[in-house]
Structure 1
Amino acid sequence: MAPLGGCVSGSPEPRGLQQGIRDPRTVLRLSELKLPLDHQEADLAAAVCRRLRIPPEQLREVRLVKRSVDARRAARISLVYSLDLVLELDAAGEQRLLRRFAGDPHLRPTPDTVYRHVVDGPPHSATGAEPPRPIVVGAGPCGYFAALLLAQMGFRPLLLERGKDVRRRSADTFGFWRGQQPFNPESNAQFGEGGAGTFSDGKLYSQVSEPKAYVRKVLEELVAAGANAEILTLHRPHIGTFKLATVVRGLRRRIEELGGEVRFGSLLDGLELDPASRAVRGVHLADGTTLEAGAVVLAIGHSARDTFAMLQSAGVALEAKPFAIGLRIEHPQPLIDRARWGPAAGHPRLGPAEYKLVHHCAGPGLEGRSVYSFCMCPGGLVVGAASEPGGVVTNGMSQHSRNERNANSGLVVPVSLDDLRPYGRDRDDPLAGIAFQRHWEQRAFVAGGGTYEAPAQQVAAFLGRTPPGAASGGATEGQASITPSYQPGVRPADLRTCLPSYVVAALQEALPAFERRIPGFAMDEALLTGVETRTSSPVRLPRHSETLVSRNTPGLYPAGEGAGYAGGILSAAIDGIKVAEQVALALSACSKG
């Protein structure tokens, strides 16, 4: 039997995304195969044979599809495998095996996860003139995958990014965090090549159910661009901040090799609209440049507030969207490891532990409210994620190794449209959520001393166990066990002044509840840093469900997290692919018409 590893494709034989030769042997997908944490490689093959009740000589190859951890019983942690199995069976033997396991959801023919483009090539006009190329705005995961797919289909897209390339952007961002450079509103943790996800954990999992071909396409392209191949097989894969910089450069290089173009320092400042139909004909940039466009993909991210205001002025359909707001919490990573892994904490096959927590509030005035953990970063850092002067925003990030001393996570409370309305210019102001975010970010800026330091407070003080003044970033006894990781630094403050009262009350109710799930979670020294406001876009750009074009602006394709259709790197990249497909179909139809 071939060793585990090597080919990890979801297809019968190693092959490209577009073609392949069917393996004449039987290939089946076996899932939910559990083995003890300390099993050997030979144990895996033996377990497969026992599960299928076949002799070892019929098992020719085992290909790893996914591996996850079952830690529901900390004293008995298991590894859970999904495998593609190459079996030496004739057609009759295959049918007998499938009949034997008929109705078993964990054994089935290996699914086809090959991505196929929707068009074979670029459109050609009857006159021979080259039509205007599509423009993609925003070099985050959505924009890069939209541009990549368009380039692969031969459309030579132009990608415009307001910020800098990832090398110069990283220098600006890390320089600001370290106090070596001033804050740059056009080059920071939100703006620049790679988008907001560049300074994050690089998580590649999503709660949104997507066709497997889309997921596989994204993961394979990321590996081709420089990500570790393990993202193809881990149940909860992540890339890590430094590796993400390599990956986005690889995506840019691929787009350019295929005839596309990427321009930095190109801020979208307006749309060229047809006076009669409102169809997009081109874009205006802040430097005065006007560019003709066959279609415009808007992948601007959740923090492009000036662009949202421009779109509102241009009459593009916008609506306010709920999101969540809260704080970052830090604990020693070993505390989370012990709570999650029990006696197996520190085992090399497990790595640093994660958690996912939800609390539904029941206190007076909190009915219908909830608190949940957001963007949990094991072995990570809390970082500054502001995109405007005079505001403080927190986020979390991890390197690929996840070997920092603290675990951190956002603890956030959803806010409704009714919560946002008092901050708008009128009851239906689509930008009310932006005003809401800005208000609390500015409050945090003032509480942090007006220097981009973040206000911080120990849980004991936040819950009223100690006076508010006892909150500190290392000045109180016991604080040394949790050294604040936030850069540019923290300042003791009462975080209860930096959030709406209902958010504070919900967090105060949730923390003791989370303590019951993870002993030590509400320990006195646990450190809270604020504020976490950029959980998702506060705006949605309505679009048609099938064509994905703007509801009232033909040729404009709202996409990704900023438009309200994604919530992380993977889902944003997939939305970029879907939008690119619709752009390609529309441009092809126009050329034929």
Structure 2
Amino acid sequence: MIRITELRLPIDHAPEVLEEAILKRLNLHAKDLIKTEIFKRSYDARKNVALAFIYTVDISVKDEDQVLKKFSNDIHVRPSPDTSYHLVAGALQVQTQVQTANFQRPVVIGFGPCGIFAALILAQMGFKPIVLERGKPVRERTQDTWGLWRKNVLNPESNVQFGEGGAGTFSDGKLYSQIKDTKFYGRKVIHEFIKAGAPEEIRYVAKPHIGTFRLVGVVERMRQEIIALGGEIRFTQKVIGFDIQNDQIKGVKIEGHEDLRANHVILALGHSARDTFEALHEAGVYMESKPFSVGFRIEHPQSLIDKARLGPHAGNEYTGAADYKLVYHAKNGRSVYSFCMCPGGTVVAATSEPHRVVTNGMSQYSRNERNANAGIVVGITPEDYPGGPLAGIAFQRELESKAYEMGGSTYEAPGQLVGDFLVGKPSTEFGTVIPSYKPGVHLTDLADSLPSYAIDAIREAIPAFEKQIKGFSMKDAVLTGIETRTSSPLRITRGPNFQSLNIQGLYPAGEGAGYAGGILSAGVDGIKVAEALALDYLSK
């Protein structure tokens, strides 16, 4: 195929105009064009230029060699690279070997994005994995999650953090990442999502997203494929211990069930499986503290963000709701940045433990809610919470418990208007911005909710962000506390073979192990770990 880059078209062009532009660009007739695939589409929304889509397309034509020769000096017309994903060599041999009496099926702990893709790849290679998920199937889990949002009732085993789909299910469904993807793992993730019912456009738009409720059906269909390929998903099975002998994993202990024998175990835990981290630490699995971030959620009118980011193009149906990404380095040496920005979304209750408050953000596919929200968080390091690999968990819990108390001990979250926060006085009533967090926001003074270095850094950063987004420091914007689960507070360190540094057959993976940040990167890491497991099995 041939790849054409930098193909610019008016943003409201008719579908057939793209093909016409391709034919004109290459001076071809319609009969010469066999197939067209959009590889990437972004938009140019600079305020002083006409709104336009910028395309990269892959096409199949008659006499391809002749066309490439004709445009050999044109850097925007080149042979299309192979971006398809291929299973590891020899993996399909497993389908005959799994029938042997001594074969132990690999176990995947956790069924979030990392666990889903680890299990899917293993199933596609014939390994028939067993997945242990402490939470419930995604639709039952959704009902439990609403129980907290609508009735202030928390189910510690079925919530935003735990259950089929993982924490990513109750987010924006963002599928973009800064990871380097030289082997096209990311394309594999996108391909499988589309096959499971995600919109085709996530293959080529610049910042793809699926949205929370669409993810529910996608996750269900991926589960069905794993099962159809011989895999097994066991819900409400919480791993509480590990059988390790001579530095080799031999099995896992499951609450209320018989132990499960396994010599290959993938830890796709997610960043909130604190009790499982403790069980791993007790079993002697090597882990270490790592940096993470804490802060608040900030809400503005989405129309304000649209106007600041898109200018005269604000509100255009083709650009959709605008987003932002901000970074500021405070005078005290702390980095403050926006995290998990959700255009046209809501702030959600994301705790997984009783009597604690945690916030997160999510959007539906339409992104048409009134407010924009994002985490405004401050980077912290193990020096801020000394005490070993589990010290970060203790630090998070302390902040989350305090937020619960500051919110009135009802799962309402503490909040404050930005104007009041900047001058250091408690808020008493909302202005033009009504917060979206459910069960509700209790106005107070957030100064005591985080360490002083974090409060000082955020107070300094918000006016600085105003210089990039006019209106960002508006007095009526709302801060909702607190955001603590930006990433795992520890890393279950692994070696080049993707196995634990000190336990053979144990594969730390995804966000919980400290190797991913978001749906796409977690899915990619799941694929890589599944490949490593397959290669280890095939080498023996």
* TM-score bracket relative to the smaller structure: over 0.9
User: What residue in structure 2 maps to residue 24 of structure 1?
Assistant: none
User: What residue in structure 2 maps to residue 571 of structure 1?
Assistant: 521
1:30-69 mapped onto 2 (5 Å cutoff)? 30-49=4-23, 51-52=25-26, 58-69=32-43
Tell me, yes or no, if structure 1 residue 511 matches structure 2 residue 462.
yes
| SS of match in other structure, 1:587 | helix
2:112 maps to which of 106, 118, 140: 140
1:315-354 mapped onto 2 (5 Å cutoff)? 315-354=284-323
User: What residue in structure 1 maps to residue 276 of structure 2?
Assistant: 307
CA, structure 1 residues 40+419, in 2 after alignment: closer, same or farther (shift >3 Å)? Answer: same
Tell me, yes or no, if structure 1 residue 219 matches structure 2 residue 198.
no
Aligned residue type for 2:84:
V
Equivalent-residue separation in structure 1 for 2:99 and 2:341 (angstroms):
55
Contact between 1:75 and 1:343, CA under 8 Å: does it hold in 2?
no
Equivalent-residue separation in structure 1 for 2:345 and 2:98 (angstroms):
56
Q: Could you report, residue by residue, the CA deviation over 1:115-156 in whole angstroms, capped at 9, with x for unpaired residues?
A: 211111316569942411000000101001111111111111
| SS of match in other structure, 1:485 | coil
| SS of match in other structure, 2:242 | strand
Percent same amino acid among aligned pairs?
53
User: What residue in structure 2 maps to residue 89 of structure 1?
Assistant: 63
How far the C-alpha of 1:60 sits from its partner, in A, is: 4.9
1:356 maps to which of 325, 337, 345: 325
| SS of match in other structure, 1:169 | helix
Equivalent-residue separation in structure 1 for 2:458 and 2:50 (angstroms):
32
CA, structure 1 residues 199+90, in 2 after alignment: closer, same or farther (shift >3 Å)? Answer: closer
1:538 maps to which of 489, 509, 521: 489
User: What residue in structure 2 maps to residue 11 of structure 1?
Assistant: none
1:236-251 mapped onto 2 (5 Å cutoff)? 236-251=207-222
Equivalent-residue separation in structure 2 for 1:74 and 1:309 (angstroms):
55
Tell me, yes or no, if structure 1 residue 414 matches structure 2 residue 374.
no
How far the C-alpha of 1:380 sits from its partner, in A, is: 0.3
1:525 maps to which of 469, 472, 476: 476
User: What residue in structure 2 maps to residue 77 of structure 1?
Assistant: 51
Contact between 2:240 and 2:276, CA under 8 Å: does it hold in 1?
yes
Contact between 2:248 and 2:263, CA under 8 Å: does it hold in 1?
no
How far the C-alpha of 1:330 sits from its partner, in A, is: 0.4
User: What residue in structure 2 maps to residue 285 of structure 1?
Assistant: 254
| SS of match in other structure, 1:120 | helix
Contact between 2:198 and 2:215, CA under 8 Å: does it hold in 1?
yes
Contact between 2:507 and 2:529, CA under 8 Å: does it hold in 1?
yes
Tell me, yes or no, if structure 1 residue 129 matches structure 2 residue 129.
no
Equivalent-residue separation in structure 2 for 1:564 and 1:84 (angstroms):
36
1:430-445 mapped onto 2 (5 Å cutoff)? 430-445=389-404
Contact between 2:46 and 2:310, CA under 8 Å: does it hold in 1?
no
Equivalent-residue separation in structure 2 for 1:357 and 1:126 (angstroms):
50
How far the C-alpha of 1:231 sits from its partner, in A, is: 1.2
Aligned residue type for 1:333:
Q
Q: Could you report, residue by residue, the CA deviation over 1:379-415 in whole angstroms, capped at 9, with x for unpaired residues?
A: 1000000111121100000111111111101111111
Contact between 2:301 and 2:370, CA under 8 Å: does it hold in 1?
yes
CA, structure 1 residues 57+261, in 2 after alignment: closer, same or farther (shift >3 Å)? Answer: closer
Equivalent-residue separation in structure 1 for 2:25 and 2:329 (angstroms):
41
Q: What TM-score do you get using the length of structure 1 for normalisation? A: 0.87
**Paired residues, what number?**
538
Q: Could you report, residue by residue, the CA deviation over 1:300-353 in whole angstroms, capped at 9, with x for unpaired residues?
A: 000001111111110001000101111100011111111111111111111111
2:358 maps to which of 376, 388, 393: 393
User: What residue in structure 2 maps to residue 494 of structure 1?
Assistant: 445
How far the C-alpha of 1:51 sits from its partner, in A, is: 4.6
How far the C-alpha of 1:41 sits from its partner, in A, is: 4.0
| SS of match in other structure, 2:464 | helix
Equivalent-residue separation in structure 1 for 2:336 and 2:238 (angstroms):
36
Q: Could you report, residue by residue, the CA deviation over 1:467-504 in whole angstroms, capped at 9, with x for unpaired residues?
A: 623x25xx34xx1x211100111101111110111111
CA, structure 1 residues 293+90, in 2 after alignment: closer, same or farther (shift >3 Å)? Answer: closer
CA, structure 1 residues 229+126, in 2 after alignment: closer, same or farther (shift >3 Å)? Answer: closer
| SS of match in other structure, 1:202 | coil
Structure 1's unaligned 5+ residue stretches are: 1-26
Equivalent-residue separation in structure 1 for 2:521 and 2:484 (angstroms):
20
Equivalent-residue separation in structure 2 for 1:126 and 1:454 (angstroms):
51
Contact between 2:68 and 2:78, CA under 8 Å: does it hold in 1?
no
Structure 2's unaligned 5+ residue stretches are: none
How far the C-alpha of 1:226 sits from its partner, in A, is: 2.0
Aligned residue type for 2:187:
R
Contact between 2:293 and 2:486, CA under 8 Å: does it hold in 1?
yes
Aligned residue type for 1:494:
D
What is the RMSD computed on CA atoms of the aligned residues?
1.9
Contact between 1:161 and 1:193, CA under 8 Å: does it hold in 2?
yes
Q: What TM-score do you get using the length of structure 2 for normalisation? A: 0.96
CA, structure 1 residues 456+587, in 2 after alignment: closer, same or farther (shift >3 Å)? Answer: same
